[in-house]
Structures are given as C-alpha cells and as structure tokens.
Amino acid sequence: MQASVSGQTVEIDWIQPDKIEYARGMVTKKEIPALVKLLDDDSPSVRATVVQELSAFRLGLQEELSRLPFSVNPIQKRQVDDIVAAQKRECLRQAWPEWIGQLGRQNGSPQIYQQLESGLTLLSRFLHDWSDGEETPCGPLLDKLAEACQEAHGPVNPIRLARFLFEERGFHGNESDYYNPQNSNLAYVLRQKQGIPISLTSVYMLLGWRLGLTIEGCQFPGHFLSRFYQGRDRVFVDCFNGGLLIREADLLRHKVLKSDLIKRVVQEPATPASIVQRFLVNLIRTYEDQEDDEQGEFLKELFEQLNRLPAGPSEKTTLQKQAGKVLSPFSVGQMMTHRRYDYHGLIVNVTMECQADDTWYYRNRTQPRREQPWYHVLVHESDQVTYVAHANIKTDNSLESITHPLISTFFSHGPDGGYLRNDTPWPEN
C-alpha cells in the first residue's frame, strides 16, 4: 500500500487483521508502521496482539516510532505512549540502583557534576517523547553550548557565563507552560531554551563545570537557585528570572526567611541526590495533577530510594518536607479507595511508617514496604478498620459521606460538609 507523506510517496507493508496471529514472533522493524495502524482496529483481540508485538521490540521501538512515515491519530498515539512508557519505566527501574551506587562511591568535585549529569540524563531518556523525533542526549548538547561560549568569549567567570546563557542565548523561565513535565527533561530544556528554576540552574551548573567553573545548587525553599563564590562572598543566581544576581545579605533580608534553617540551607551546597530528588518532586506533582497514577507511583519509588541516602542537617530537613508532600499527600479526614481491593474509606489516623508488629505484618497478604506512611481507615458500609500502606491507596472524591459506626467517635462535620477530626486519641494498640 502507498501513503503520501509531505508530498512523497512511501511504501507501507500492511499486515491484515486476520493474519496477525501468524505474524507473532516474526514481525520485523519494517512492519512497525503497519502494526501502529492496527492499534485502533475494531477487533479487541487484534489490538491486544498488536500491543504485545510492539512491546516485544523493547527500547528499540522508540527509534523506529520516531521515523514513522505518517502522523498517528489520537487513539494510536495514546496506545503507543502507554507501550513506550512501560518500557521506559522498566529501563529506568533497572538503571536507578546503579546510579545511586555511584553516589556513595565518589565524592570529589568533578564526580559531583558527573553524578548530576548522569542522573538527569536518565530522567531525560525517561521523559523523551518519541513523537518529537529521535532522542538527543544531554551531553553533546551541553558540549556544543560550552564550545559556543568559549568561541565567543574565551575564558569566562560565572557572571559572564550567566549573561551568555540568559541574555545572549535567551534561556528563560517557561512561565506559560510551567507544569509541563518536559521542563524537567534537560535535553528538552537545552533545545527549547526554557525550563523551570531547577532545570535552568542545572544547565548553568553543568555548563560552568565544562568551562572550569564551580557553580553550586542551593535548595532554597520554593525556588531553586545557583551560587558561586566571589572572593569570600557567596553570590546567588536566579536562573528562572534571566540570571538575576542576588547577594547573600539581600537573600536573607526578608523577615520570613530569617531563620537558622534558611541560613544553613543557603550555606550548604545541594548534592546531586537532592537535586535529582527535587526534579522528582516536581514530576510527581505534575503527574498527580494529570491523574497519571502509574507514572506518579513509579517516580515515588525512585524518590523513596534516594530518600534513604544520608544528607546534611539542613538539606535533610528540606528533603523531609519534600518527602512529606510527595509520600504523604493523604490526611486525616480524607476519603480514599484501596487500589487493589476497591473499598472506600475515611482516613482516621496516620503513622509515618508501619507500627504493626511482625506477626500482623507477615500475615498481611501484600506486605508493602514498612518505611512509608500507613493509614488507619474506617471502611465504608462496614464496622471494619484497616491499616493500609500509602502505596495501596488513592484519593476518592466519588462519595459525599462515609457510613461507619465510629464516625461520630472521631469526627464532626465541618462547615463544607467534610470531616473534622476531634480530640479523641487513636488507640495505640
């Protein structure tokens, strides 16, 4: 069959729907376009078989998809996205422990930047959208930008580099599409010249490293910054706002920020682990807003693995706050649904890790990890109380009220009809 693409005629080898079973295990890369065309076939069995065949190509599939000689329709795009996302989750899940292992083995200055770039490259591969064309690695893009800076200015200092990046090259904050997950994809940021504070700061840091400069990250609450030393003074750079230079005294002048914690955060450089973890925080929030549970829960797994690493006192405090936002988004008085068993309930008590004894824990059929928030839940339309791990529940806004005999013991109704927890203590045992 012939198809016209951009005025050119291309040959597509089609697989007939009634022949798809015979093709299993024998499909070649040439036949990927034909398989994609069948993703919106009327037959569920054909669609299921096509998904299985495309999944078998593993990561080689993305490169072939980027070369499709036609535009996919929304149904085909959604199906392909799901296949590719599953493959990339598995790839990143396998690579993540090795990268974390590197963090503990090397602590020198060059290694810190290498570790950061390696971690962000893994995330970039994970976030790459196959429909944007073939993936461009972060490293060559940074190399090219560093060479351009050297050709234009020769040796540079951090201030000169900031001007090059944010004035001459036009890198800027993506205010109009701030919550786009691609803003956390360093390769996308380098191509589009826009991103969020932490991704723009990472570009600035890694570019500076290539040019022999020491530029560090700063875990400033709510707005990631970079910093460098000018003599004995620390100078901060707001990469989201055009490379704005900020003196440390000005940074700490606001009354809200006058605390020992903030001062320590300003003084301590951010580690590669904490920077990548903050990337994950942004992505998790984005996927939760998009109600993409699979992507969000997967990234929480990566976040938790990083959360076990040691950190400085102020950095640990900052990360604990981030962990609270990511790992414990459910609160007392919130309605939920169990992911596996589909029952509805009301959260009545929260513990930051499993408090049950070993006998109870090992009788649990699923045995989720202990080191995560656990919730006591009043089960709707029963007299049961369950103890559930964070990973097993999701928000439920489908019910107006919960029916349970203990509701009046622990709750009163708020002005908006929600549940307000009273002072009745939850029994320890």
For helices 313-327 and 260-267, what crossing angle results, to 10°?
100
Residue (of 188, 174, 183) closest to 133 by Cα position? 188
Sheet of strand 233-238, all strands in order from the earlier edge strand to the far edge: 216-218, 225-230, 233-238, 244-247
CA gap 366, 179 in Å, rounded: 34
CA gap 17, 15 in Å, rounded: 6
Cα first-last separation, the chain: 70
Q: What are 376's strand-pairing partners?
A: 349, 387
Fold of 335-421: SH3 type barrels. (2.30.30)
CA gap 365, 99 in Å, rounded: 32
* Burial class of 250 by CB neighbour count within 10 A (0 to 12, 13 to 18, 19+): exposed
Residue (of 366, 301, 373, 369) closest to 339 by Cα position? 366
61 to 16, 103, 130, 208, 265: CA distances (angstroms): 21, 31, 9, 35, 44
Residue (of 241, 211, 215) closest to 228 by Cα position? 215
Place of tokens 């351009």: 148
Residue (of 69, 49, 71, 53) closest to 61 by Cα position? 53
- pLDDT digits over 201-231, tens only? 999 999 999 999 999 998 877 678 999 998 8
H/E segment holding residue 138: helix 138-153
Return the structure tokens found at 258: 């006058």
Residue (of 390, 424, 209, 199) closest to 304 by Cα position? 390
139 to 119, 143, 335: CA distances (angstroms): 12, 6, 45
Q: Give the helix ranges, DSSP H, for 290-312.
A: 293-307
pLDDT at position 310 is 61
For helices 293-307 and 313-327, what crossing angle results, to 10°?
160
What is the per-residue burial (b if ≥16 Cβ within 10 Å, else e) of 43-77?
eeebbebbbebbeebeeebbebbeebeeebeeebe
* Burial class of 425 by CB neighbour count within 10 A (0 to 12, 13 to 18, 19+): exposed
pLDDT at position 58 is 63
- pLDDT digits over 264-277, tens only? 767 788 889 989 99
Contacts 24+ apart (CB under 8 A), 32-37: 32/57, 32/61, 32/64, 32/65, 32/68, 33/68, 33/69, 33/70, 36/65, 36/68, 36/72, 36/76, 36/80, 37/12, 37/76
Place of tokens 């102020």: 314
CA 93 to chain CA centroid, nearest Å: 13
pLDDT at position 356 is 86
- Which pairing describes strands 344-351 and 335-338: parallel, antiparallel, or unpaired? antiparallel
Please list the ranges in the chain whose pLDDT falls under 50: 1-25, 255-258, 312-317, 319
Residue (of 272, 274, 273, 282) closest to 184 by Cα position? 282
CA gap 242, 172 in Å, rounded: 6
pLDDT at position 211 is 96
SS3 357: coil
Which ranges in the chain are annotated with CATH 2.30.30?
335-421
The letter for the amino acid at 187 is A
pLDDT at position 365 is 65
pLDDT at position 326 is 53
Q: What are 349's strand-pairing partners?
A: 376
| DSSP assignments along 167-202, one per residue | IIS--EE--TTTT-GGGG-HHHHHHHTEE-HHHHHH
